[in-house]
Amino acid sequence: MKKFMLYPHGGSGNHGCEAIVRTTMKIVNGMYENATLFSDRPETDRSVGLDKILNVTEAKSEISALQKLLIKMSHKISGSDEQFYRYQNTPVIEHADKNTLALSIGGDNYCYGWVEYLYSLNKYLRKKGVTTVLWGCSVEPSAMDQRMIDDLRGHAVINTRETISYQAMRDRGLDNVHLYPDPAFLLDKTELPLPNGFEEGNTVGINLSPLILKYEKEDGATMNAYAGLINHILDSTDMRVALIPHVIVEGNSDFDTMAELYENFKDSGRVVQIGDHNALELKGFISRCRMFIGARTHATIAAYSSHVPTFVVGYSVKARGIARDIFGSEDDMVLPVQQLHSTNQLIDAFESLSSRENELRTKLKTFIPKYAAKAANAKETILPFING
């Protein structure tokens, strides 16, 4: 196939998305000279240098007055927004043809129940004879209705990134499914100078996302638990704390969410807030932490792959699945935010992590190199289409 494209991509303000693009291109190294990334926010991708490794172009187009009228008529007849998504994604659909291999790289897109746009986009791509591949994904098993299964079946290949999603798909009769670790386990790192207050090897990295606040069952439980954890670290250890954001998107910014924590503890002189950096640089900070407690999946992947003992405050299947694949069980490694109700839960998790620190670091050093190497083998699933 002559064309190779990545879609959908919300932009590199989400540095997990950036990490997936970087490592996917690392995996397919040399297979395509003119790969194209279709992005909702291409300026964010250029700002982190993705345009140096593949073409970056706008995924969305303005909808004309005539198209708005057609959309309105279509919605009135069918009740569906399919035509809206068709016109909105015109650049993607027009670029692709029967000689295109299209990697669907949004690993979480089938987790959250708002995939109508993706069903529509996939439908129009496949009508043009495009070969679509779902790349590095997780799927919430309880969300797998017949419509989702039908869309998933339309992919030539599905590469899941953890066993819970893999098994859920197999149980529902999908046979085009493979299991490979998230490509971001292959991400390189860039080590910038550490800010004052960040002591290498004696700093606990902490990541908190606004997304997990939406899943908490008790208002304020998450912020209270994180504040209690930081207070405990400062009172009972000589460790420092680094607040490390991994998504900086308006309305969904880790930095903004953690700003309150920083304000509460900045006068201690032992809490630092890391600013916005690209995925490589963020991994450079995370890799120099002693331990890591985080919410964003790709922040925790940066920690795991740097052999940093890590505890995850999760909200979906991916956190449990990845931890299960690494440690054999997610018990004592992941706390679903839906179960967070006491300040002591994160303190207990930290103490458990501390007591097993050397054991976990040794486990990661032994396990991760082979595990990450498997991620590179995902290219075997797309070679038939490249060579065909």
Q: Which pLDDT belongs to residue 147? A: 93
Q: State residue 283's pLDDT score.
A: 99
Q: What is the mean pLDDT of the chain?
A: 95
What per-residue confidence (pLDDT) applies to 113? 62
For the chain, domain boundaries:
3-179, 203-371
pLDDT for 32 equals 81
Q: What is the 3-state secondary structure (H, E, C) of the chain?
A: CCEEEEECCCCCCEHHHHHHHHHHHHHCCCCCCCCEEEECCHHHHHHCCHHHCCEEEECCCCCCHHHHHHHHHHHHHHCCCHHHHHHHCHHHHHHCCCCEEEEECCCCCECCCCCHHHHHHHHHHHHCCCEEEEEEECECHHHCCHHHHHHHHCCCEEEECCHHHHHHHHHCCCCCEEECCCHHHHCCCCCCCCCCCCCCCCEEEECCCHHHHHHCCCCCHHHHHHHHHHHHHHHHCCCEEEECCCECCCCCCHHHHHHHHHHHHHHHCCEEECCCCCHHHHHHHHCCCCEEEECCHHHHHHHHCCCCCEEEEECCHHHHHHHHHHHCCCCCCEEEHHHCCCHHHHHHHHHHHHHCHHHHHHHHHHHHHHHHHHHHHHHHHCHHHHHC
pLDDT at position 115 is 86
Structure confidence at residue 388 (pLDDT): 61
Architecture of the CATH domain 203-371: 3-Layer(aba) Sandwich (3.40)
> 3-179 with 203-371: one CATH topology?
yes
Query: Can you give the pLDDT at residue 2?
Result: 83
Which residue ranges of the chain lie beneath pLDDT 70? 113-114, 387-388
Q: Rounded to whole angstroms, how far apart are CA atoms 46 and 324?
A: 35
Residue 34: C-alpha distances to residues 5, 38, 46, 319 (Å) = 9, 13, 16, 34
- CATH architecture of the domain with residue range 3-179: 3-Layer(aba) Sandwich (3.40)
